[in-house]
């Protein structure tokens, strides 16, 4: 893993306040940690989401398949 570099970000007031609430509640150690984790998750899931979007465009789910998936994912 490379050494972290400092960058400046612009966030909405609402987003920053929500992140700061997460920090105060000790669900994340810092604003930087929250942003880093969010970026890592997005990068990890981005390619998979693009692949799934392409698959669904080519062959959309049937209503029966969607009900099955919704039921399984709620479990």
Contacts by 3-10 with C-beta closer than 8 Å and gap 24+?
4/36, 9/35
Q: What's residue 43's pLDDT? A: 86
Q: How far apart are CA 21 and CA 26, in angstroms?
A: 9
Higher pLDDT, residue 1 or 19: 19
Q: What is the pLDDT of residues 2-47, one digit of tens each?
A: 888 899 999 999 999 999 999 999 999 999 999 999 999 888 888 8
Whether the predicted pLDDT of 1 surpasses 80: no
Burial of 47 (0-12, 13-18, 19+ CB in 10 A): exposed
pTM: 0.60
């Amino acid at each position: 893993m490379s050494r972290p570099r400092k960058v400046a970000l612009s966030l909405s007031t609402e987003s920053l306040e929500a992140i700061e609430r997460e920090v105060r509640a000790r669900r994340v150690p810092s604003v930087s940690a929250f942003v880093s984790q969010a970026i890592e998750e997005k990068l990890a899931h981005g390619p998979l989401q693009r692949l799934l979007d392409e698959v669904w465009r080519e062959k959309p789910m049937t209503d029966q398949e969607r009900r099955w998936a919704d039921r399984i994912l709620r479990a």
